[in-house]
Amino acid sequence: MSIIADMSEPERQSWVTLIADGFVFVWFWKTMAPGWSLIPDNFTPSETGELFFKLVIITIFYHVVISLAFEFRRRKGGVDKDERDLEIQSFGTRVGYMTLELGLGVIIVTALLSYVFSESYSPPITLTTPVQFIFALTFLSYVADLLRHGVAVIRYRAA
Amino acid sequence: MGGKKSHIANQVKRIRLARTDLTQAELARRIGATRQTIIAIEAEKYSPSLELAFRLSRVLGEPIEELFQFSGEWV
């Protein structure tokens, strides 16, 4: 029996979401900060708005498509999800939430350093413009989501 | 209160094969779990909740202490 055939439906959904998130995250990162840099290009407000409009639409679209696809696959009378799935997914959600909290702390400290010590100290990453803030927050939310699903799929394989 | 390494061993696979003709999928269906959870329990990679353990006990027709044994140290 292949690995995919041996997966429960929630595990398959985690994999599909992880892969889709990964593709969109790479597209977003390459578009905003070419060369895998952590410093975004100087986008104009209209360019930023257009990019984020696309990002939001794409993200909503694929999450809806994935959810609907798995909803239609649901077996009548069968059990597709049980306590083990809930436990694994709640562990992934906890890891994602902790990442989000930690990342927000880093963003706040970086913003403070960029603002308070701007004349005497220049950190490798500065957060002074709206584009930089938007990039940092979006980057963080995708990393947290990727970790959430990544941790879940690792745990599915381990347990 | 503190704990050391704990481990819950189980005889689910042995009892399922020896005393019933249930497949993993059929056992899963009857206790309201997925087949993957039965696989994980039988491989002792997952310890079920008390409720699921009682359901296993009922379907397999064995008392819960026959199915699960706590073999870890506890201090």
Our CA-based measurement puts residue A123 at a distance from the nearest CA of chain B, in whole angstroms, of 44
Structural contact between residues B41 and B14, judged by C-beta atoms closer than 8 angstroms: no
Positions of chain B with pLDDT lower than 50, given as ranges: 1-5
Interface touch B36/A81, C-beta < 8 Å = no
Interface touch A83/B37, C-beta < 8 Å = yes
- Chain B nearest-CA residue for A157: B40
Buried b (16+ CB within 10 A) or exposed e, A132-152: bebbbebbbbbbbbbbbbbbb
Please tell me the pTM assigned to this model. 0.85
**Which domains can be identified in chain B, with CATH numbers?**
9-70 (1.10.260.40)
Q: What is the pLDDT of residues A65-121, one digit of tens each?
A: 999 999 888 766 667 889 999 999 999 999 999 999 999 999 999 888 888 887 776
ipTM score? 0.84
Q: Which residue among A6, A7, A84 sits closest to B46, beta carbon to beta carbon? A: A84
Type of residue at B68:
F
- Listed by number, the residues of chain A in 20-79 with a beta carbon closer than 8 Å to a beta carbon of chain B are 78-79
